[in-house]
Amino acid sequence: MEHATNPLQQARLDRIRRVARLMDARYGIPGTRYRIGLDGLIGLIPGIGDGVGLAVSGWMIAEAVQAGARRRTIARMVGNAALDGVVGSVPLVGDLFDFAFKSHQRNAALLAADLERQVRPASAR
């Protein structure tokens, strides 16, 4: 998406994208094309990591509401965050899931697509 409806929406989306990248894809694994982020790394800390990831997801969802995302988009974002939180809390399997699922980037993409859909003329949909 190039431009959201207004500069405030675009600023929110840019912030969300930066945080999503930090949480899900900040660091490259040498010798591979795979990237991991702080969500998976912090998730390795029992009891704390999953809560931090859910808090960031909550912030992203609140920002999406403020940006004017549709209810359907918000519901999908909540679903991604819930799935990440539930599966992520399972020892070992959850840690691997956190590295692979990348819920923050999924949610940033959902928001970007929703905001883009709102600014496209009806004839272009």
pLDDT tens per residue across span 96-105: 898 899 999 9
Residue 124, pLDDT > 80, answer no
Q: Tell me the Cα Rg of the chain.
A: 15
Cα–Cα distance for residue pair 2/120, rounded to 1 Å: 11
pLDDT tens per residue across span 76-116: 999 999 999 999 888 889 888 988 999 999 999 999 999 99
Task: Please tell me whether the overall predicted TM-score, pTM, comes out greater than 0.75 for this model.
Answer: yes
Q: How do the domains of the chain map onto residue ranges?
A: 7-117
Give the number of other Cβ atoms within 10 Å of residue 63's Cβ: 20
- The reported pLDDT for the residue numbered 4 is 52
Residue 3, pLDDT > 60, answer no
The full DSSP string for the chain is: ----SSHHHHHHHHHHHHHHHHHHHSEEPTTSS-EE-HHHHHTTSTTTHHHHHHHHHHHHHHHHHHHT--HHHHHHHHHHHHHHHHHHTSTTHHHHHHHHH-HHHHHHHHHHHHHHHHHS-GGG-
- The reported pLDDT for the residue numbered 1 is 41
Cα–Cα distance for residue pair 10/54, rounded to 1 Å: 23
Check residues 24 and 124 and name the one with the higher pLDDT. Answer: 24
Question: Which range is least confidently modeled, 2-6, 67-71, 72-76?
Answer: 2-6
